[in-house]
Structure 1
Amino acid sequence: MQVEGTHDSAAVDESTTRIFRMGELFSGPGGLGIGAKMAAVPGSKIVHQWATDYDADTCNTYATNVVGNEAAESVIHGDIRELDYKVLHDLGGIDALSFGFPCNDFSAVGERRGFEGTFGPLYTYGVEALRQFQPSWFLAENVGGIRSGGGAELRQIFRDMIDAGYRLYPHYYKFEQYGVPQARHRMIVIGIRNDLDVEFKIPSPAPYADADVTTKTALSGIPKWATNQELTKQTARVIERLEHIPEGGNAWVENMPEHLKINTRTKLSSIYRRLDSKKPAYTVTGSGGGGTHIYHWSEPRALTNRERARLQTFPDDFEFKGNKESVRKQVGMAVPPRGAQIIFEAVMKSFAGIEYESVEPSLVEFLPEGDQISL
């Protein structure tokens, strides 16, 4: 860790700041990156050191908003499977590592191929970064569905992280309980290096119990100057179908006229599902065909990417780069910055010895025998 202070010797003790230099793999557009930047704990700060992602638009978005320079050399565009880690070493050491390793093969929406899929083994690149850089702590994120099938894959992932030299604090976070206007549930693991006398605690959702997480509030007052507000083109047929769907309903309502019905074997609840203005939104996703864009509760239309970004808690001045479909994917793949901020602040408080309200961790049953954290 680096220490940053002022040149005023009389104020050094009060102004000294512990800086955690953070590296990111599978950075996405910057949900974790901007969340870390937003995190505020007296005497501590997380700063960007380097980041890498396979998608060019995503890298441009990250560099523009997290680094402040779209051409930043510290943001590497490339396939992690072909990346020489020497490039990252040349950019500097790190005190923290974040990696939201791709969830495609663990998600409930998909074939669930696990380690046999294209994306399942990619977590190992995060583990390799832990071995090489030995940061003080790390944050790893994936979908809650990774627990399914008996949890064998999750146990293996945890075992590899432990073998890299870390104590694990895994938890299944429901972000709507933390002030995020969206039912987004994710597994997040905080790891603390074994030689450090620091214990992390899961931040309690209790302080956010009174937060207004309704979609109506979340989508109100979007300034006209905010980017990424292009409307989705919709046919007259789609508009007519939406006009028959009530707030909170989907395409399978009983009174849907015959010519507007969708004839499929499976009836996914998210198809042409309209938001309920009085509740958090359902999960924002990054892909999907017709009927999966998230639909306004009263207007017969899909949400704009800026509205989707609001549900993800991105600031209005956060500018996504790329065409509309690219931006949709970026918004959907991100960790909600507000949720990330809360977790990062808990980590910084843990290192600073600052007490905060906490809850019992979940998912500890998936830790290898003998590696249970002390509760």
Structure 2
Amino acid sequence: MQKAVNEGNTPIPIIDLFSGPGGLGEGFMALRDEYGNRAFKILMSVERDPNAHKTLRLRSFYRRILDKNKGKAPKEYIEYTLDPSEKNFDKLTAKYANEYKQAEDETLCEALEEGNDAHVNEALKRLENYPNSPTVLIGGPPCQAYSLVGRARRTNEDRESFENDERQTLYRCYLRFIEKIQPDIFVMENVKGMLSATRKSQKIFSLIKGDMEALGYQLHSLSTESPSSPLDYLIKSEKYGIPQARHRVILVGTKISKRTEIACLKPQKMTTVNDAIGDLPKLGGEFSRRNHPGFSSRNKFLSEAQERLLSAVRDDKVKEYLETLVFDENERPIKSSTKLEKPSIYQRWYEGGFKKQTIVLNHDTRAHMAKDYERYLFASAFTQVHDRSANLYDFPTYLLPEHKNVLGIESGKEIIFPDRFRVQVSNKPSTTVTAHISKDGHYFIHPDASQARSLTVREAARLQTFPDDYYFEGGRTSAFQQVGNAVPPLLANQIAKILIDNLNTNS
């Protein structure tokens, strides 16, 4: 627990911009002081996406309920998250009407725009109630324009339209809040591509750094005490106990006049995919008999797919592993509500308010094409024995996708995206969970070959370190997007601990 900053244990106010589903804010709000009170308080969060806003609002609401119920999730919340009907929502909000009204006031479903100070003025108005408190600003402007993948896809587009993309200038909205609010500390998160992106032939990172210094702020690296290049501001999450190789730029700014020093994040023991999701109930991918005629069950289909693979695969180790798999045609599908074991890592963190609950939220599988089930079966079996994900050069010929760029693979020609089917290796941190997971599961195949499927929203959320009681609104596709775009809450919590120590010292 952290030492309290202000007399009377008043939490430090936060303004949270471009909030998404709330990953960054969750890490700060989870921090408690020495008396068990929340060390921070979000006064205002702003998110334009309706579904992400609903998630953000529900989480804000739920935190207030937890504080009222001594950390235990009430049955009304559980009923709503298991069946998010209007009836259950009304029942939940009616019982905790004051808490819901406060959550509505805190979370704004609105767009931030350069040149419009309405939100800045609203933040200043809310901060008037904390005249003697330090202030923290957090957030991450939308990052698609800086994304290395996004930029690669736009190489054939008009260069001027790329440089004028509003997502390249939205950081100026964040800058305006710094200018007007004058926070004691700010935290800004973005993608690695920001370090190499340019705007009108100037490096984006240099522009941002120069603008912040012009406002009287210095930037701090959380990975090294003496940053000498833009890459020193890159945080590699897997170094800090996050079960995911997520590399993001995190800028921490303090006022130059205070000559503040910010400690670096402390390296943590590596956590793996299996550490993060190994205890979750095993599932089979959704299986439609209409889309798979002639097969009465998923297991019957996989059993025959197994036989085809045993005939086609030339890798003896993979064949031996495939032979160990048993697909019982009479086995009933496992449901996501199957009893949940204790997480093997971060137990208190993941369980949240579900201390004695066995339910699992957002843990339902998507449907896959028949051929993809077979590809997933092979790829996950290959990964189990070779400790790496298979690329298309490893696949049996009959499982290769029918794309033009794959045609030359048999002759050994180099192809584009040979890793289009990527299994998450169980004994390593996962690859970066991105919003692309909402489109298909090819890059996020479960390592357990017996399940032969892509990850669920809950599994992706675990890799992002969202607590199990964190419910994502808006359906599966939107939930995947929200998870992929978020900051890992447990990493944000580590940052919050560093900043609270600084605020204690300098307040």
> What TM-score range do you get, normalising by the shorter chain?
0.7 to 0.9
Provide the secondary structure at the position in 2 that maps to 1:244: helix
Provide the secondary structure at the position in 1 that maps to 2:435: coil
In the TM superposition, what are the counterparts of 1:350-361 in structure 2 within 5 Å?
A: 350-353=502-505
1:236 pairs, out of 370, 390, 412, with: 370
Q: CA separation in 1, counterparts of 2:395 and 2:485? A: 34
Read off the aligned partner of 1:29 and give its amino acid letter.
P
Cα deviation, residue 96, structure 1? 0.5
Alpha-carbon distance change, 279 to 264 in structure 1, aligned in 2, over 3 angstroms: farther
In the alignment, which residue of structure 1 is the partner of 2:51? 57
Q: Contact 2:5–2:503 (CA<8 Å) still a contact in 1?
A: no
In the TM superposition, what are the counterparts of 1:104-143 in structure 2 within 5 Å?
A: 104-111=144-151, 115-143=163-191
Provide the secondary structure at the position in 1 that maps to 2:425: coil
Alpha-carbon distance change, 117 to 45 in structure 1, aligned in 2, over 3 angstroms: same
Provide the secondary structure at the position in 1 that maps to 2:211: helix
Q: 5+ residue gaps in structure 1?
A: 6-16, 355-375
In the alignment, which residue of structure 1 is the partner of 2:260? 198
RMSD: 2.5
Q: Is 2:64 the partner of 1:72?
A: no
Q: CA separation in 1, counterparts of 2:184 and 2:31? A: 17
In the alignment, which residue of structure 1 is the partner of 2:127? 92
2:142 pairs, out of 99, 102, 126, with: 102
Cα deviation, residue 18, structure 1? 5.8
Read off the aligned partner of 1:225 and give its amino acid letter.
I
In the alignment, which residue of structure 2 is the partner of 1:256? 396
In the alignment, which residue of structure 2 is the partner of 1:219? 277
In the alignment, which residue of structure 1 is the partner of 2:432? 283
Q: Contact 2:43–2:106 (CA<8 Å) still a contact in 1?
A: yes
Q: Given the two structures, how large is their TM-score scaled by the length of structure 1?
A: 0.83
In the alignment, which residue of structure 2 is the partner of 1:159? 210
Q: Contact 2:20–2:56 (CA<8 Å) still a contact in 1?
A: yes
Q: Contact 1:98–1:138 (CA<8 Å) still a contact in 2?
A: yes
Q: CA separation in 2, counterparts of 1:122 and 1:313? A: 27
Q: Contact 1:270–1:291 (CA<8 Å) still a contact in 2?
A: no
Provide the secondary structure at the position in 1 that maps to 2:251: strand
Provide the secondary structure at the position in 1 that maps to 2:249: strand
Cα deviation, residue 193, structure 1? 2.0
Provide the secondary structure at the position in 1 that maps to 2:480: helix
Q: Is 2:375 the partner of 1:313?
A: no
Return the structure number with greater strand share: 1
Q: Contact 1:41–1:349 (CA<8 Å) still a contact in 2?
A: no
Alpha-carbon distance change, 292 to 258 in structure 1, aligned in 2, over 3 angstroms: closer
Q: CA separation in 1, counterparts of 2:14 and 2:416? A: 43
1:37 pairs, out of 29, 51, 59, with: 29
Provide the secondary structure at the position in 2 that maps to 1:110: helix
Alpha-carbon distance change, 149 to 122 in structure 1, aligned in 2, over 3 angstroms: closer
In the TM superposition, what are the counterparts of 1:1-40 in structure 2 within 5 Å?
A: 3-5=6-8, 17=9, 19-40=11-32
Return the structure number with greater helix share: 2
Q: CA separation in 2, counterparts of 1:329 and 1:263? A: 26
Q: Contact 1:52–1:76 (CA<8 Å) still a contact in 2?
A: yes
1:323 pairs, out of 469, 472, 475, with: 475
- Identical counterparts, % of pairs: 28
Provide the secondary structure at the position in 2 that maps to 1:338: helix
Q: CA separation in 2, counterparts of 1:115 and 1:349? A: 39
Q: Which moved more, 1:171-180 or 1:195-204?
A: 195-204
1:273 pairs, out of 422, 425, 444, with: 422
Cα deviation, residue 181, structure 1? 0.2
Read off the aligned partner of 1:263 and give its amino acid letter.
H
Q: Larger radius of gyration, structure 1 or 2? A: 2
Cα deviation, residue 83, structure 1? 6.8
Q: Given the two structures, how large is their TM-score scaled by the length of structure 2?
A: 0.62
Describe the superposition over 1:132-185 as per-residue Cα deviations: whole angstroms up to 9, x where unpaired: 111111000111121125871100011111222211113211100100000000
Alpha-carbon distance change, 92 to 350 in structure 1, aligned in 2, over 3 angstroms: closer
